[in-house]
Structure 1
């Protein structure tokens, strides 16, 4: 194989992996929305059947608990897929690399 075809193949593999990650996230998001609509509807109807008003049934923590906790997972999944990390950004990584390179350089100066 030619070197250019190896690079193209590598890019193709990375692109395919990225598409699979995006597809997985969008499927996760779609299932999240569909299941939570059914869960919330069932909870509201069930609570109203037990004598609660619509407002009482709708604004009940139990009604939204699945949505809330599963939603946390969806947010983290999306953050991973879209490479969002507010704590360990590329700038943070570069600062850490530079810090360790400077420390290594200073350590080497001790022996020169």
Structure 2
């Protein structure tokens, strides 16, 4: 019984490391690609209808929805999935923080 639990914990830990590794790759790709695209202003494409995604910039600001913004939304969703940000401020978290501050 104990061995089965240890194997299960090991599998969960390995999956967590794999997920973190993939997330960090995602962040690096996001930064590198968007830095490259920052210098390639003429890059744009239409997805459907008049909805255009680009990095084109003029005196009034972005002419269309920037690629970094849309990709950033997906990156944020990935971070929430990996780090569980939505569960950070639960009752357990409050109790842990209270105990931590009382030790100080």
The TM-score by the shorter chain falls in which range? 0.5 to 0.7
In the alignment of these two chains, the number of paired residues is 78
**TM, length-normalised to structure 2:** 0.62
Asked whether the equivalents of residues 25 and 78 of structure 1 are also in contact (C-alpha less than 8 Å), the reply is yes
| 5+ long unaligned stretches in structure 1 | 47-55, 92-112
| 5+ long unaligned stretches in structure 2 | 43-56, 92-104
Q: Which has the larger radius of gyration?
A: 1
**TM, length-normalised to structure 1:** 0.58
Q: Distance in 2 between matches of 1:38 and 1:63?
A: 18
Q: Distance in 1 between matches of 2:59 and 2:19?
A: 34
Which structure's residues are more often helix, by fraction? 1
Which structure's residues are more often strand, by fraction? 2
Q: CA 1:32/1:41 → structure 2, altered by over 3 Å: closer, same or farther?
A: same
Q: Residue 37 of structure 2 corresponds to which residue in structure 1?
A: 39
Higher RCO (CA < 8 A, seq sep 6+): 1
Give me the CA root mean square deviation. Answer: 2.8
